[in-house]
Structure 1
Amino acid sequence: MSSHSPHGQSPLRTVQVLGGGNAGSSAHVRSLAAGLVARGVRVTVCAPSEAERLHDFTGAGAEHVHVPRSSDPGSVAALRAACTDADVVHAHGLHASFRAVLALGGRSTPLVVTWHSRARAEGARAHLLRLLERRVARAAAVVLGTTSDLVDRARRTGAKDARLAGVALPGPGAAAEPEDEEQPHSKVRAELGAIGRPLLMAVGSLDRHRGYDLLLDATHAWCRLDPVPLVVIAGEGPLRPALQHRIEAEELPVRLLGRRDDVGALLAAADLALLPGGEEARSVLAQEALHARVPLVAAQTGGIRELVGEAAVLVPPGDAPAFAEAVVRLLDDRQRYERLRDLGTRQAATWPTEDETVAQVLSVYDELTQPLPMI
């Protein structure tokens, strides 16, 4: 089998650097690694061991090197060693990118950076993040942004080359659910306690920026409906005790499911997908919902409008009454509900495939590694 080699010599070797905190970027790297390996590229993934357990980079044909999330000297030294002899280093997310900049200090190895979402912080930490962004943007040979806003931000921050990057939704979740799957759907709904009532679903880590407090606020309005919808949230995180306390104290029809590995089946059984907050530029939930023909109600944050177009109901961020009202109206309007399902299918068809995503990234690598023409 012939290996992809822009040099006409040994196969191209790339090191993918992950912080391990974002499920979307980790899944993207798993997909990217599989596609690159299939094209004869040698791939090393530097990520915490937990990310390897969850995403199985070695199963995609890549070599995995454990590198902790911290930027301490030991972590940077491990990354520096892993990047020896790499043709291209590709880092995902701000903190992983900063570690890569430190690890490559003084080397001529080209660095590609993908910004999947905008890092958020307040006070002194916000100033530190701006400094990190500037350092990373200026050090990178190419910055790939998953939305136009992120590309513009990279340019303002000092990137010499910033481009819009396709990021496909990897794996079987990208396939639309067959229409005759009513039996499994009924089973899932029965297990959740949602027979004869609407099932509304949110997915994501239980963190402050996800907007779950707003979601619980909105749930009060749905308690007046007949039948009362059941809200389920799949995910785990530091807010779980506080959210559970509110659910019990306010007697809300909400279930925290914890971390689940059957999100695709849960979502396919739901009536609506809910995205009450979050700064994820290409929300995995939004993509999976549209692929599964499940209408989406989302707060208009990050790059959600660019991602879903007219195929979802978008409401102002931080507005619980508007979010609650949007859900009530959609549940009450079957014609609009069915129209959104069809629009979702059409919108999903415009997104890049995994193959197109890998091809774009590989063309960037080729640009950066082709030898200069002889004069």
Structure 2
Amino acid sequence: MRVLQVLGSSAGGVGRHVGQVVSALSSAGDDVVVAGPAVVRPLVGTDARFEAVEITDRPRVGDVAAVRRLAALGRGADVVHAHGLRAGALAILGVRGLRRAPADGSRRPHVVVTLHNLPVGGRAVRAVSAVLEGVVGRGADVVLGVSPDLVTLATARGARRAELALVPAPRAAAAEDDPAQVRRTRAALGLADDERLLVTVARLAPQKGLGDVVAAARVLAGTPHRFRWVVAGDGPLRGELEADVRASGVPVELLGARDDVGALLAAADAAVSTARWEGQPLWLQEALAHGAAIVATDVGGTGAVVGDAAVLVGAEPASGIGGAVAEAVARLLADDDARAAVRGRARARAAALPTGADVVEQLTAVYAGGATGD
């Protein structure tokens, strides 16, 4: 089967997911081509041919050229699988124009769109998103959502078939869990023996609620626990967060982008997510694999990912998230038995998360719908 995977500008998570899908499909024998902005090429790996198509996160004049390019790349494909709302809408507009001569014996490709994010922004952003959601809902043969609320949204927008997308869970490297490696990781961070390590992995963007990391750290600073809270990731809010940390004087350190996230999670006394919305967060899946004690806001698909293997905190009201997170973390740090129980459930949950083979099985069934012929 020839499959065209399409994605737009990606903050990382979508690109890595597409890379996982491409690798799994290629290993299963499918002929996969990836189309997307040149900047995402390193994220999707080298298991498929890459075609540069500039798909940005905002409407622009160049969208017309992108639609034409996707139409050309879609000709001859059995399936066009787009990731994200903008990429999905542009792919549908391109494929919709494909009408082949009867002698060709082929029909337009089956169109699948995976929604990875809930639109975040003001009234104008939401209005544009609603239009694109309608295009995707009515134009795709199948819509996959990485969280239950996105599946519900797709159905409300007219999707003929919508279901929860399986996201392959990253596997933990055994070497990262080695006690000697844990000691080296802590030493590299300059931690004292009695300091607890809290780890958050996130893009420094509004959706991740990182102001609540600082708010929670303020509350924790008033408890007996001596701790260091590190945030691995980069993004547009870095300057603002650095200023907030300096003004607060809390023991929070912004590490920037890291290539040793697994080692950080293996060394963590707790992994903490303060996100305002998540799909199927890959870093929390990785934290489960390392047996981390997780505290997370119960938003989007987070609860579906962690099950009973984390302490979940309500996200309403938003003004109280920092205090609620701090309280949950403090309880875990104060109770070694409770923390050990959460760690044990985390490893068990990780073993039940989807694998690459599970994803291939789902996509094979989704793709098998074939061309619509209309």
The TM-score, its normalising length taken from structure 2, stands at 0.90
State the identity as a percent.
38
Q: Which amino acid aligns with 2:50?
A: H
Give the superposition deviation at 1:52. 1.0
User: SS in structure 2 opposite 1:153?
Assistant: helix
Maintained 8 Å contact 1:273/1:296: yes
1:64 aligns with 2:31: no
Which whole-Å CA distance do the structure 2 matches of 1:180 and 1:354 have between them?
22
Shifted more, 160-169 versus 136-145: the winner is 160-169
1:335 aligns with 2:344: no
Which whole-Å CA distance do the structure 2 matches of 1:275 and 1:227 have between them?
19
Pair 330,113 (structure 1): closer, same or farther in 2 beyond 3 Å:
same
Which whole-Å CA distance do the structure 2 matches of 1:54 and 1:304 have between them?
23
Maintained 8 Å contact 2:19/2:43: no
Q: Which amino acid aligns with 1:24?
A: G
2:274 is aligned to 276
1:153-192 pair list within 5 angstroms:
153-170=153-170, 174-175=171-172, 177=174, 181-192=178-189
Maintained 8 Å contact 2:207/2:276: yes
Pair 342,15 (structure 1): closer, same or farther in 2 beyond 3 Å:
same
1:114 is aligned to 114
Pair 250,235 (structure 1): closer, same or farther in 2 beyond 3 Å:
same
Maintained 8 Å contact 1:28/1:169: no
User: SS in structure 2 opposite 1:261?
Assistant: coil
Q: Which amino acid aligns with 1:133?
A: E
User: SS in structure 1 opposite 2:250?
Assistant: coil
2:254 is aligned to 256
Runs of 4+ in 1 over 4 A off after TM superposition: none
Maintained 8 Å contact 1:76/1:99: yes
Pair 118,179 (structure 1): closer, same or farther in 2 beyond 3 Å:
closer
1:130 aligns with 2:130: yes
1:314 is aligned to 312
1:20 aligns with 2:9: yes
2:24 is aligned to 35
Maintained 8 Å contact 1:177/1:268: no
User: SS in structure 1 opposite 2:34?
Assistant: strand
Which whole-Å CA distance do the structure 1 matches of 2:70 and 2:97 have between them?
14
User: SS in structure 2 opposite 1:205?
Assistant: coil
Give the superposition deviation at 1:76. 2.4
Give the superposition deviation at 1:180. 6.4
The correspondence for 1:75, drawn from 57, 60, 66, is 66
| CA displacement 1:322-359 (0-9 Å, x = unmatched) | 11111111100111101101111122222221111112
Which whole-Å CA distance do the structure 2 matches of 1:291 and 1:29 have between them?
21
| CA displacement 1:281-338 (0-9 Å, x = unmatched) | 1011211111110011111111111221111111111221111111111100111101
Q: Which amino acid aligns with 2:328?
A: A
1:194 aligns with 2:191: yes
User: SS in structure 1 opposite 2:271?
Assistant: strand
1:92 aligns with 2:90: no
1:51 is aligned to 40
2:229 is aligned to 231
Which whole-Å CA distance do the structure 2 matches of 1:180 and 1:314 have between them?
24
User: SS in structure 2 opposite 1:310?
Assistant: coil
Pair 370,120 (structure 1): closer, same or farther in 2 beyond 3 Å:
closer
Shifted more, 326-335 versus 22-31: the winner is 22-31
Give the superposition deviation at 1:203. 0.7
Cα RMSD (Å) of the superposition? 1.8
User: SS in structure 1 opposite 2:284?
Assistant: helix
2:102 is aligned to none
| CA displacement 1:231-275 (0-9 Å, x = unmatched) | 101111111111111111221111111111111111111111110
The correspondence for 1:301, drawn from 296, 299, 311, is 299
1:3 is aligned to none
Q: Which amino acid aligns with 2:80?
A: V
Stretches of structure 1 lacking an aligned partner (at least 5 in a row): 1-11
User: SS in structure 2 opposite 1:21?
Assistant: coil
Pair 267,179 (structure 1): closer, same or farther in 2 beyond 3 Å:
closer
The TM-score, its normalising length taken from structure 1, stands at 0.90
Shifted more, 308-317 versus 74-83: the winner is 74-83
